[in-house]
Amino acid sequence: MPSQKLSAIDEATRAMVVFTDLDGTLLDDSTYSFDAAREALDELRARSIPIVVVSSKTRAEIEPLRSRLRNEHPFIVENGGAVFVPSNYFPFQLMAATAHDQYHIVSLGTSYPRLRRALKEIEQELDVELRGYGDMPVEEVVTRAGLSRQEAELAKQRDYDEPFVVESERCTLDALTQAITARGLRWTKGDRFHHLMGIQDKGQAVQYLIECYRRLADHHRDRLITVGIGNSLNDLPMLKAVDRPVLVQQHDGSYEPDIELPGLIRAPGLGPIGWNRAMLSLLA
Ligand SMILES: [Mg+2]
């Protein structure tokens, strides 16, 4: 590990926040367990360092997981589609937020019905099969994503991002990209699926929260250090937005080859194992 320890910074004037991807990063790629990261999670909790979940998962999927993590911090859903901030979390009013349930919600993404229409248009235009979550019965999501039936039902409750697979070999990524950008949309590659989405990305949503945490740190005259940790290309905008970007190993032991950043920490270990080691090392 390169020497990226934070101990050089005066403890008394330091505030830290950790932004983390879930699948294949904090959660094991196949079991979806975060057990291997427990030691670092406990240490972060002991130091009152917020962990912000930043995922392609939906609100319905993240909420139960957040309870299991005993996490009461903001979270980011569907690849940056929206930021959920618990009411009264920050001692100031949030820009562009709508109060709903127990949250202030900042919507950054394109609506799901528009994404679904675009996917089906592109399918016809390119004469290929693009199967989105909206086309898949629950059983198919269970098989393709390795989720339980109940989890798959929660994963289908989408608002801002459509995971899809390309079923035809003759579909080139260039043609796909062109058809998507022509509609003012974009796509990214996640762990198991491509994701069709609006112009939002994890980075914009993380940036929004960094501004909030910075304001809070300024108020306490702390210096804010931001950490981001991910495993796939859809994490790149998040990793670009933070001071300390961390990449964990993918299930085959490799690191996402298309992520290159100055100061990038390549954590030794798959998913939550790498997560645990990188965090403990940053906190040492
Ligand atoms: Mg991931």
d(CA 43, CA 31): 23
pTM for the predicted model, two decimal places: 0.89
Query: How many angstroms is it from 15 CA to the middle of ligand 1?
Result: 26
**Are 13-72+201-283 and 112-197 in the same CATH fold?**
no
Query: How many angstroms is it from 55 CA to the middle of ligand 1?
Result: 8
Give the strand pairing for 244-249 and 75-77.
unpaired
Set 21, 191, 201, 235: catalytic member = 21
Query: How many angstroms is it from 140 CA to the middle of ligand 1?
Result: 20
Contacts 24+ apart (CB under 8 A), 134-139: 134/158, 134/162
Whole-number average pLDDT of the chain: 93
* pLDDT at position 11 over 70: no
Cβ atoms within 10 Å of 61's Cβ, excluding its own: 23
Q: Is 21 a catalytic residue?
A: yes
What residues does each domain of the chain span? 13-72+201-283, 112-197
Query: How many angstroms is it from 12 CA to the middle of ligand 1?
Result: 33
Query: How many angstroms is it from 13 CA to the middle of ligand 1?
Result: 32
Cβ atoms within 10 Å of 171's Cβ, excluding its own: 18
The pLDDT tens digits of the residues spanning 87-137 come to 999 999 999 999 999 999 999 999 999 999 999 999 999 999 999 999 999
The pLDDT tens digits of the residues spanning 223-280 come to 999 999 999 999 999 999 999 999 999 999 999 999 999 999 999 999 999 999 999 9
Dihedral over Cα of 159, 86, 53, 107: its sign: positive
The pLDDT tens digits of the residues spanning 69-89 come to 999 999 999 999 999 999 999
Which two three-digit tokens encode residue 127? Answer: 């004469």
CA nearest 163: which of 121, 134, 203, 201? 134
Instruction: Give me the count of residues in the chain.
Output: 284
Domain 112-197 has CATH 3.30.1490.20: no
Query: How many angstroms is it from 219 CA to the middle of ligand 1?
Result: 33
Cβ atoms within 10 Å of 165's Cβ, excluding its own: 16
Query: How many angstroms is it from 250 CA to the middle of ligand 1?
Result: 9
Strands (E), the chain: 14-20, 51-54, 75-77, 82-86, 98-100, 103-107, 130-132, 161-166, 186-189, 194-197, 223-230, 244-249, 265-270
Contact status, residue 54 vs residue 65, Cβ threshold 8 Å: no
Query: How many angstroms is it from 19 CA to the middle of ligand 1?
Result: 12
* pLDDT at position 3 over 80: no
Please list all protein residues whose beta carbon sits less than 5 angstroms from ligand 1, which is an ion.
Answer: 21, 23-24, 191, 231-232
Q: Which CATH number fits domain 13-72+201-283: 3.40.50.720, 3.20.190.10, 3.40.50.1000, 3.40.190.10?
A: 3.40.50.1000
